[in-house]
Amino acid sequence: MIFVTVGTQLPFDRLIALADEAAPSLSRPVFAQIGVCTYTPRNVEYSARLTPLEFDRLFSQADMIVSHAGIGTVLTAQKYRKPIVLFPRRAALGEHRNDHQLATVNALEGRSGVYIARTEDELRSLLGSTLTPPDMESEHPSREKLKSALANIIAGQKS
């Protein structure tokens, strides 16, 4: 199963519409957490919001995660050892206030288990692919320290 998630704060109709349009041609089902999206999917199961338990269940069942470039989702993909496709929101398209998600994907590009789709065609291609999960053995030795610091930032704590 492919699990598409866009978070809960901002709409990301472009990602949801692309996943929905691609779904009939894919060899596996797609479930989307669509947030405050105005696009109504026709080809995928979806929910605007998920409880933490539902989110964890879907994440653990998925063989691919597709997401905006939110660092919390990236960390969760690492935790569950799932390949993740990042499709950044773009300020020029009114999807965010600035292009920090483009900076995020630039920084994460090339990491094990992280795949970047900057265009609709790249996303369609990755959706139809079998992706390799992260190789946790090859991660940088300070990974745990960084992961902990980022988790604290997300939780609103000082490191």
Show the DSSP H helices in the chain as ranges.
Answer: 13-22, 52-61, 71-80, 100-108, 120-127, 143-154
pTM equals 0.81
pLDDT digits (tens, 9 = 90+) for 23-57: 999 999 999 999 999 999 999 999 999 999 999 99
Average pLDDT over residues 64-84: 93
Tokens of 60: 């653990």
Residue 110: strand, helix, or coil: coil
Q: Which amino acid is at 24?
A: P
pLDDT in tens, 95-138: 667 667 878 888 899 999 999 999 999 999 999 999 988 886 65
Which secondary-structure segment (H or E) carries 5? strand 2-5
Quick check: 64 and 83 in contact, CB under 8 A? yes
Distance CA 119, CA 30 (A): 20
Fold of 2-154: Rossmann fold (3.40.50)
Number of CB atoms found within 10 A of residue 159's CB? 9
Residue 7 Rama label (left phi>0; alpha psi -120 to 50; beta): left
